[in-house]
Amino acid sequence: MAPNSRLILTRHAQAEHNVDLDYSIPDAPLTPLGKKQAASLSRLIPDLQKEAEVIVSSPLRRTLQTTYLGYAPAIERLGGLKNVVVLPQAQECNDLPCDTGSSKEVLEKDPEFAVFDLAPLTPDWNSKKGFWAPSDEALTERARWVRKFLRDRPEQNIVLVSHGDILRRITARPGSGPSEYPWKNAEVRIFEFDPEFVDSEECFLYQRENVAAAGGYGLTSTELEIEQTEGRL
């Protein structure tokens, strides 16, 4: 683990399911506006583009698109898209079509995504079963797994492009469960490991600063479910 690792956490830009709250869209990609939001990150966070030492991304279409558009200068400097770390453990929480990733074989046939190293995508990565299940227990374990993975990376400045619901679990604090922070589309926030927990199994994070938000707010599938349950939608 690099001392004082800095985690540059990023939520994907606006995707198709964020617009009309249609969560039946399979592996929802970015909208044209979302692509513009993602591309604006190179202008909004130029210093982070220069400082990033590794780019890690969830393998859903919208996160891969946000990654190659939003971190293009850093990716070029770091040797290209094949050096992006594709991390299925950082996929979104729910088992809705929009939150279920495409198979490795499907992505490999699409020129837009075949440029990534998709070797980490196992046959069950998008099964939403077992380790990948949307249960509270499984999600808590998966978020812990991601924190430990990031903690054990050798780089000091690590970018992770992921999703609102799983980011809230990754940034959970001791005794309080998942964060309730409403991540905006294409929002970037910097976290560090809490010195009190960095050597523990939980290795909790604490926020250092908000850096940029290129888009407005789009409900995640979990937030929509909560609002519907409470009668607000």
pLDDT bracket for residue 229 (50, 70, 90): very low
Domains of the chain: 6-229 (3.40.50.1240)
The structure tokens listed for 61 are 């279409």
pTM confidence score: 0.91
90-122 residue pLDDT tens: 999 999 999 999 999 999 999 999 999 999 999
Residue 228 scores a pLDDT above 90? no
The answer to whether residue 226 scores a pLDDT higher than 70 is: no
| DSSP string for 6-51 | EEEEEE---BHHHHS--TTSTT--B-HHHHHHHHTHHHH-HHHHHH
Which single residue is written with the structure tokens 């210093």?
Answer: 47
pLDDT in tens, 167-225: 999 999 998 889 999 999 999 999 999 999 999 999 999 998 778 777 665 555 544 44
pLDDT band at 144 (very low <50, low <70, confident <90, very high): very high
